[in-house]
Structure 1
Amino acid sequence: MANKYNFNLSHLPERTIRPRKNGVTMVMDKGISLRQAEDFLSVSADYVDFIKLGFGTSLITKDVKKKVKLYRDAGMQVYVGGTLFEAFVVRNKFDDYLKYIADLGMNCAEVSDGSIELEHDKKCEYIRTLAKNYTVLSEVGSKEEGVIIHPARWINMMLNELEAGAFKVIAEARESGTVGIYHKNGSAHNMLINRIVNKVKIENIIWETPQKSQQAYFIKLFGCDVNLGNIGVDDVIPLETLRLGLRGDTFFSFLPEEMKQPI
């Protein structure tokens, strides 16, 4: 990727390129127009791996099939938000969900239970079914503020869902970044995150990081090729500069010690 930059600046970390297994960026499309999607891709396509049509927006967005095709033609994995999966499941319409995402031309699917109570064995069964035809991302954690899940349960769910066929597991934060792996003020649950990565391989986790401070936290903790999600369409380039140490929050993260001294 470095040879595609506008200047060959030294001491930038080496970034993975698509198709990536590590350092993936998952973007949330909250219902932007087809024209906005074209503009977004014109500047950000190289840095995006997954596009989520957030929550239930795909159900009411105009030209959604055209937009899905646009994203897929740009080499991205596209899926509808887990909340919509749950909306079908709670109505006992999983077969209709399968038809819906097939009709949209999706190549990826998200399985979550952040809004509904779903037996974990049943959730893993949905993952196994979808994994036959789709790249599956499974989301772990509640969307409800104040719901505390014990670290051991986070770990067990993540490991079981990966075993069931999930490509990666998503650590829930919601689009606000104030639940799941975060406190309600947006700061990280350090103990929970450390417990998780002691048992689950870091490359198998996508951390939802809608806020800049959260993106910087994980980049400084795990490096430029940490998997990050719930990124806004306008935040992809700013995120990439964080990954490369070209923004104040991570400026010194990848520089040698001699460059960190006063000039």
Structure 2
Amino acid sequence: MNYPLINVPERTVKPRHKGITMVMDKGLSTRQAEDFLEVSGVHTDIVKLGWATSFVTPNLQAKLDIYKNAGIPVYFGGTLFEAFVIRNQFDEYRRILDKYNMEFAEVSDGSITISHEEKCEYIRKLSGQVTVISEVGSKDATKIFAPYKWINLMRAEIEAGSWKVIAEAREGGNVGIYRDSGEVREGLVDEILTQIPEETIIWEAPQKVQQVWFIKLIGTNVNLGNIAPAEVIPLETIRLGLRGDTFDHFLNQK
């Protein structure tokens, strides 16, 4: 930090297994990626190239190299995995991961319908090739899962080989663990946390109010995902109690 300040919550250090900030890159140029990393790279743990944007991104390898040279892991969004699977091109997807020297991959079923057994088999296969992050929840706002189902799905995917499980919210933060208004389904989150260790979950939280809610519930070192590049520094101040939203929260804990 730039100067001393007492009574600031202690953050975990990289490489982090909890307190992760996962950033969603929805189409930054190489120059924008460089500018983003200059300011926010120190606070960024992993970058997702949103949904299937990598398919249409110019200079893809150059951008991947920028992140990798900065020591920031990067991976393709789960929708790309689904796009290959629905077209019976899973083996081609694996070759794409190798072609780009990807170390992480996301397995999701938010847009396709496959059995959970089949999804877990994809996790098992890919976990021998890369570090797998799997996503639980549907992108369809009309599909609402009971808490026990979220728990069973998360547990099975961790057992199948997922490093972390993502709680679905989309980039808008209005499905999955949230109501369409963006409000957290508090009962659902509470139930999940009774059975699934919080450090194994990445909560998608693109909205500030959602980030604040999870930080107050779980603490400074909660895993948060789908953070916009311009929101990484603001999020870090929220984590440290240096923004109005959490200013008193951490002081009262001392």
**Same fold by TM (over 0.5)?**
yes
Q: Which residue of 1 aligns with 2:246?
A: 250
RCO higher in 1 or 2 (8 Å CA, sep ≥ 6)? Answer: 2
Q: Which residue of 2 aligns with 1:48?
A: 44
Q: State the alpha-carbon separation in 2 of the partners of residues 75 and 18 from structure 1.
A: 10
TM-score by length of 1: 0.95
Q: Letter of the aligned partner of 1:166 in structure 2?
A: S
Q: State the alpha-carbon separation in 1 of the partners of residues 97 and 47 from structure 2.
A: 14
Q: State the alpha-carbon separation in 2 of the partners of residues 256 and 152 from structure 1.
A: 34
Q: Which residue of 2 aligns with 1:94?
A: 90
**8 Å contact 1:68–1:106 — kept in the other structure?**
no
Which of 198, 210, 217 is the equivalent residue of 2:213?
217
**8 Å contact 1:21–1:203 — kept in the other structure?**
yes
Q: Letter of the aligned partner of 1:8 in structure 2?
A: P
Q: Letter of the aligned partner of 2:110 in structure 1?
A: G
TM-score by length of 2: 0.98
Q: Which residue of 2 aligns with 1:12?
A: 8
Which of 36, 42, 53 is the equivalent residue of 2:32?
36
Structure 1 residues 257 and 132: CA distance shift in structure 2, 3 A: closer
Q: State the alpha-carbon separation in 2 of the partners of residues 72 and 61 from structure 1.
A: 17
Which of 23, 28, 32 is the equivalent residue of 1:27?
23
The offset of 1:256, in angstroms, is: 3.9
Q: State the alpha-carbon separation in 1 of the partners of residues 27 and 195 from structure 2.
A: 36
Q: Which residue of 2 aligns with 1:174?
A: 170
In the TM superposition, structure 1's runs of 4+ consecutive aligned residues that sit over 3 Å from their partners are none
Q: State the alpha-carbon separation in 2 of the partners of residues 220 and 31 from structure 1.
A: 31
Q: Letter of the aligned partner of 2:176 in structure 1?
A: G
1:227 aligns with 2:223: yes
Structure 1 residues 245 and 65: CA distance shift in structure 2, 3 A: same
Q: State the alpha-carbon separation in 2 of the partners of residues 69 and 253 from structure 1.
A: 39
Q: Which residue of 2 aligns with 1:140?
A: 136
Q: State the alpha-carbon separation in 2 of the partners of residues 161 and 77 from structure 1.
A: 21
For structure 1, list consecutive stretches of 5 or more residues without a partner in the other structure: 259-263
Q: Which residue of 1 aligns with 2:124?
A: 128
SS at match of 2:141: coil
Q: Letter of the aligned partner of 1:76 in structure 2?
A: I
**8 Å contact 1:173–1:180 — kept in the other structure?**
yes
Render the CA deviation track for 1:165-193: whole Å, top value 9, x for unaligned: 10000000000100000000000000100
The offset of 1:257, in angstroms, is: 6.4
SS at match of 1:62: coil
Q: State the alpha-carbon separation in 2 of the partners of residues 212 and 186 from structure 1.
A: 10
- Percent identity over the alignment? 56
Structure 1 residues 252 and 122: CA distance shift in structure 2, 3 A: same
Render the CA deviation track for 1:22-57: whole Å, top value 9, x for unaligned: 100100000100000000000111111111000111
Render the CA deviation track for 1:89-140: whole Å, top value 9, x for unaligned: 0000001111112212211000000011111111011111111121110000
Q: Which residue of 2 aligns with 1:153?
A: 149
Q: State the alpha-carbon separation in 1 of the partners of residues 187 and 68 from structure 2.
A: 38
Q: Which residue of 2 aligns with 1:65?
A: 61
Root-mean-square deviation (CA), in Å? 1.0
For structure 2, list consecutive stretches of 5 or more residues without a partner in the other structure: none
Render the CA deviation track for 1:224-249: whole Å, top value 9, x for unaligned: 00000000011100000000001111
**8 Å contact 1:25–1:227 — kept in the other structure?**
yes
